[in-house]
Structure 1
Amino acid sequence: MKDFILPDIGEGIVECELLAWLVSEGDIIVEDQPVAEVMTDKATVQIPAMYSGKVQKLYYQTGEIAQVHKPLFAMDIDTKGDDIRAADTLELGSNEVLAAQTDSAKKNSPVLSEHPNKTHVHSRHIETFILPDIGEGIVECELVKWLVSEGDEIVEDQPVVEVMTDKALVEIPAKYSGTVVSLCYQQGEIAKVHSALFTMQVTEDIRENGVIKSNVSSPISPANKEQKGQTDNQDTRAVTHSGLNSNHKVLASPAVRRVAREQNIELSQVHGSGEKGRILKCDLVQKPVDDAKACTTSEVTSRTNPGQTRVERISGIKAAMAKQMVNSVSTIPHFTVSEEIQMDALMALRAQLKDDFTAQGVKLSFMPFFIKAMSMALKAFPVINSQVNKDCTELTYFHDHNIGMAVDGKFGLLVPNIKGVQDMSLLEIAIRASELIEQARQGRLKTSDLTGGTISISNIGVLGGTVATPVINHPEAAIVALGKIQRLPRFDENDQVRPVNIMHVSWSGDHRIIDGATMVRFNNLWKSYIEQPMTMLSTMR
């Protein structure tokens, strides 16, 4: 008799309420069959059996609190034959066929004879990949792109799917090597953390000292391949011809059961296309039988009816931006200061340095100059590089100048920041800025690149904008919007009209801690460094 230990259900969860037992003492159960339904403080979860066998004792009653890492129930594991699938074949009435094939496979298997201390668990089994915690506070993400298809062979740590959270684009790698069986979400759908993401057929495993290791390097002889193919075909035929068994427990993940409840679908009447008849999400969608890619294809219907509307979910980075902007304008009293900056001297200096930077593989833009000038001005006005707490009772001054740049990225507006600008040279800033901009446009920024900023720059000029009233990137205290450079007529000191390259800038500040006079003085210093860049270079550290 073996105790089943209640596993980790989610980060930080140490106990759960037992809602219902799905089996009784004395029942015969199979691997992956749901045994109990428990409720945490976040969701209702079904606990599947890890092995096939007979339930001997249930340690909790319905309504009691079960502890994580404590025994949930006890069972006698079915150990007949080295291949646990023999238990499934007994139910299908083909024990004699599989036993003969298993005996034959044993004779041809060098792996079992060479490892007397190892217990063979199963030559192949279905593993459900659960979407893990991606980051603090993230409970769902949008599935952007599948990097594999059903039937593909994958290896451990190979990227399988790209998902987008409200912070960044993340690649999810495979935990094991094997074959992809089914994809549980379509591109564009919202995947919940701790729900089934995909299922895969894991390659041969060996249990050694209680640890499962993937035996991907063991060669398989042609005879073994042929024998394995016959066994697989026999299993497939047995499951296919078995049809729906009303006495058999339904195999389905919690996410599938939730969808079934929402759509009023009786799972016992659904034929599962997964291993051992497991019901997948695609099995709940009523589509023609010849739609072989029901789980992975997304069909978009285009109509031209007058008055037609289209509803699109706001999710991922767009949703994060919406919340951030609402939080900023509702909690920070904004005020704006505008000014014109003459760019002629800086344009001349950039032209002189451009070839030197190009020789080092860096494209020099105006942005590194703006960023470095801002950092030098912040040393004289540290309040601009501070943040106030929620109750407006404390002010935190930051030593590091972590200057952000608003980038029109692949999935929306992102504001990555360059850390520690005060200690960087123009070349280092240019290199880092290029890296962040490229990563933002590809949607591959790290969470650390998007957090920890102390002040931001929004360059609307690259898109042709002239004037803007920027919204502060909460919880920062200030942001500046840069307009496009225009060649405009201006009077010189002799009252003569001459053409000048002008850039319009607009500052927004947190009026709780920054007054208008301080903002103007700060802007004047920053402006002087840009209009007289040689002064900036002479005092740069």
Structure 2
Amino acid sequence: MLAPARLTVRRGARIANPRLLSSLASSARMHAPASTRGRIQQLNRYLDTTTTPSRLFSASAAAAVQVKPFVLADIGEGITECEIVKWLVKEGDVIEEFDPVVEVMSDKASVEITSPFSGKIASLAGAAGDMLKVGSVLCSIEVEGGEGEADSAPAAAEPAAPEPAPAPASSSTTPSSTTPSSSSSPSRSSNTEVLATPATRRFAREHDVDLSSITGTGRDGRVTKEDIWKFVSEGPSAPSSAPAQASAPTATSTLTAPAESTTIPLNSTRKAMYRAMSASLQIPHFSYSDVVDVTEIERMRLILASNIPLQYRKTLKPADEATLARQEQWTGAARVDPTRQFGRITLLPLLLKALSLAMSEHPIFTCTLSPPPSAGPATTDPSLVRRPTHDISVALSNPSPAGGLFTPVLRSIDTSSVFDLASRLAHLQSLLPTSGNGAPKFPPEYQGAGTLTLSNIGVIGGRTTHPVVPPTGQLAIGAIGRTRVEPRFVDEARAKRVASGMEEAGAAELKVEPRLVMDVTFSADHRVVEGVELARLVESWKRIVENPARLAA
């Protein structure tokens, strides 16, 4: 007979997980954990060890458990599928509402998805590297208090393993497992009967491999990517009864890589880039290039750089700190987070603000195309969706070894100041090195896509490029080159008249002065944007950049 030394629960308490209920005292002390979930109805003072079974407590039957599917929701404009980067839980884990469940990659950014309810993980829908469509089930979660009618739903979604085909009785020799027989090899449609993840099936399609021709080495006979690589590299083995001359090199031997070559799988970032650029091939591009004089806006930049508001500055003098404290007391203008502070201003926030003013004159560029090219063949008539704010994406290159080009969006540029844009750009730069797999975890404010993108290749040193419109539904993308000095006539109109012979040079000399210029190129989706519309946008933007007084209005 054992007596509880200490009970750690009380009558009526609810137990959701296996937990310590008491310490049992006899010649030795041991712990008695709960073996089920439910509500404590009765506590027994003594435990009889001579009868079996004997219970220290009685628990009411657990509330009906409902298995709820956790569906992958739309996490951004134009996103139709996501790649699983890594699971943050495993089957059997007990989670609470808003706990992170999985990290997925979409639109070249990693996002942690949280659980919508509390419960126990019943099953996971895929492994790292698998692709999941928006609207498909991520995982199944056991939730207490449900009606239980959905318990069997996830089980029905689990594909049944195919029964092995019986060996032909008339044949005394069996062909090699990797070589399909001419009379019994399954057709291409039999791929769906082979156990393999969606990512593996996509990998097989890319290499034109019939999965039914491969014997899987994974769990339950699943075909893995390594099986496909081995099949592609070695080729199908010859039947044992084939004549000796059949071992001559075949066409498949051309796929064998040289001994010194190394196969490097694409990381998640480059896979996303591969998919996005493949979808961009559907877009007919129209490009427009020009040279912009940035002398005046550069002078404005220098003035703004010497007058950065105190709440944005990285370093403050004691007198400035006192001034900021008074401002905060009277106006609430507190200092921004250190990741949003900056010590200098580049041309980019001014160019973004000028582009927003140009978009006001050409409102088609405040629209996105629906459905976007990344959604695949359109099933409905295409339309333009006009946004109430000016949202522009910026292209950022990740300095980490994993690399990657990312296009986070800056929203409401039309109502943002140049200093606020510079602060957000500084914040974006601080996020780039934070991800080990090359995909920064941008906060929700930067996720999604803008109606335009602006890329600054000038920081690398190039003068011009041909930007590619991303398949997110946006209508145009611009690229700005390196700023350089060129001699320009002070009176360019008179220089043109003299050059054309309409006016003599005379006594008045044509003066030349150094000016700062940069090359710009914009590309647009020519299916919905006319060439003249893109040209007018670029010319309006150029006019504002060369005469930036409107930026101060």
What is the TM-score when the length of structure 1 is the normalising length?
0.50
Listed as ranges, the matches of 1:285-296 within 5 Å are none
Residue equivalent to 2:277: 322
Q: Secondary structure at the match of 2:280?
A: helix
Aligned length: 356
What's the CA shift for 1:411? Answer: 7.7
1:144-155 pair list within 5 angstroms: 144-147=85-88
Match of 2:478 among 466, 477, 480: 480
Going from structure 1 to structure 2, the CA distance change for 1:445 and 1:496 (only over 3 Å counts) comes to: same
Instruction: Supply the distance in 2 between the matched residues of 1:319 and 1:421 (Cα, whole angstroms).
Output: 30
After superposition, where does 1:378-527 map in structure 2 within 5 Å?
378-385=359-366, 400-408=389-397, 412-435=404-427, 443-445=440-442, 449-451=446-448, 453-473=450-470, 475-490=473-488, 492-493=490-491, 499-511=514-526, 519-527=534-542
Alignment of 1:105 with 2:56, yes or no, is yes
Q: Which residue number in structure 1 is paired with residue 293 of structure 2?
A: 342
Gap regions ≥5 residues in structure 1: 1-81, 86-96, 113-117, 212-250, 265-280, 287-302
CA distance in 2, matches of 1:381, 1:188: 42
Give, as a single letter, the amino acid of the residue that structure 2 aligns with 1:463. I
- CA, structure 1 residues 176+367, in 2 after alignment: closer, same or farther (shift >3 Å)? same
Give 1:119's aligned residue: 61
Any conservation in 2 of the 1:317–1:412 contact (CA below 8 Å)? Answer: no
C-alpha distance in structure 2 between counterparts of 1:355 and 1:255, whole Å: 65
Structure 1 residues 431 and 499, CA gap change in structure 2 (3 angstroms): same
Aligned to 1:32: none
CA–CA distance in structure 1, aligned partners of residues 163 and 512 of structure 2: 72
Matches of 2:407 and 2:49, distance apart in 1: 60
Measure how far apart 1:370 and its partner are. 0.9
Q: What is the CA deviation profile of residues 202-251 of structure 1, one whole-angstrom value per residue up to 9, with x for unaligned ones? A: 9xx9x67979xxxxxxxxxxxxxxxxxxxxxxxxxxxxxxxxxxxxxxx9
Q: Which residue of 2 aligns with 1:233?
A: none
CA–CA distance in structure 2, aligned partners of residues 149 and 119 of structure 1: 26
Q: Which amino acid aligns with 1:458?
A: S
Structure 1 residue 489, shift from structure 2 partner: 4.9
CA contact (8 A) 1:165 1:317 kept: yes
Query: Aligned-pair distance for 1:481?
Result: 0.9
Q: C-alpha separation between the residues in 1 aligned to 2:302 and 2:91?
A: 54
> Offset of 1:483 from its aligned partner?
1.0
Q: Cα offset for 1:507? A: 2.0
Distance 1:403 1:366 in 2: 15
* 2: CA distance, partners of 1:189 / 1:463: 35
SS at match of 1:340: strand
What is the match of residue 305 of structure 1?
A: 259
Amino acid at match of 1:375: S
Out of 365, 368, 371, which is 2:346 matched to? 365
- 8 Å CA contact 1:142–1:190 kept in 2: the answer is yes
Match for residue 254 of structure 1 among 158, 163, 184? 158
Name the amino acid aligned to 2:61. T
Q: Which residue of 1 aligns with 2:551?
A: 537
Partner Cα distance (2:281, 2:468) in 1: 10
Report the alpha carbon displacement of residue 505 of structure 1 after superposing the two structures with TM.
Answer: 0.7
Deviates more, 1:368-377 or 1:320-329: 320-329
Whether the 8 Å contact between 1:384 and 1:477 is mirrored in structure 2 is yes
User: How far, CA to CA, are the matches of 1:464 and 1:524 in structure 2?
Assistant: 24
Residues 95, 119 of structure 2: 8 Å contact kept = yes
CA distance in 1, matches of 2:72, 2:105: 13
Structure showing greater radius of gyration is 2
Match of 1:171 in 2: 112
| Identical pairs, percent | 26
Distance 1:385 1:182 in 2: 43
Match of 1:351 among 290, 295, 302: 302
Q: Give the equivalent residue in structure 2 for 1:132.
A: 71
Question: Structure 2, unaligned stretches of length 5 or more?
Answer: 1-33, 38-47, 149-154, 165-192, 197-216, 223-256, 313-340, 371-377, 492-508
C-alpha distance 491-358 of structure 1, shift in aligned 2 (>3 A): same
1:327 match: secondary structure = coil
Instruction: Report Cα offsets for 1:430-449 as digits up to 9, x if no partner.
Output: 34444556567753346785
Cα distance in 2 for partners of 1:402, 1:166 equals 16
Q: Structure 1 186/393 Cα, relative in aligned 2: closer, same or farther at 3 Å? A: closer
Q: Deviations 1:3-52 (Å, cap 9, x if unpaired)?
A: xxxxxxxxxxxxxxxxxxxxxxxxxxxxxxxxxxxxxxxxxxxxxxxxxx
User: Secondary structure of the residue that 1:465 maps to in structure 2?
Assistant: coil
Alignment of 1:84-103 (within 5 A): 103=54
Shift of 1:198: 8.8
> Could you tell me whether the CA contact under 8 Å between 1:321 and 1:413 is conserved in 2?
no
Report the 3-state secondary structure (helix = DSSP H, G, I; strand = E; otherwise coil) of the residue aligned with 2:359.
helix
Asked whether the 8 Å contact 2:288–2:523 carries over to 1, the reply is: yes
| Cα separation, 2, equivalents of 1:138 and 1:365 | 32
Q: Are the structure 2 counterparts of residues 253 and 313 from structure 1 closer, same or farther at C-alpha, using a change threshold of 3 Å? A: farther
Structure 1 residue 342 displacement after superposition: 2.8
* Corresponding residue SS for 2:286: strand
Quick one: distance in 1 between partners of 2:368 and 2:122? 50
Separation in structure 2 between the aligned mates of residue 526 and residue 519 of structure 1, nearest angstrom: 11
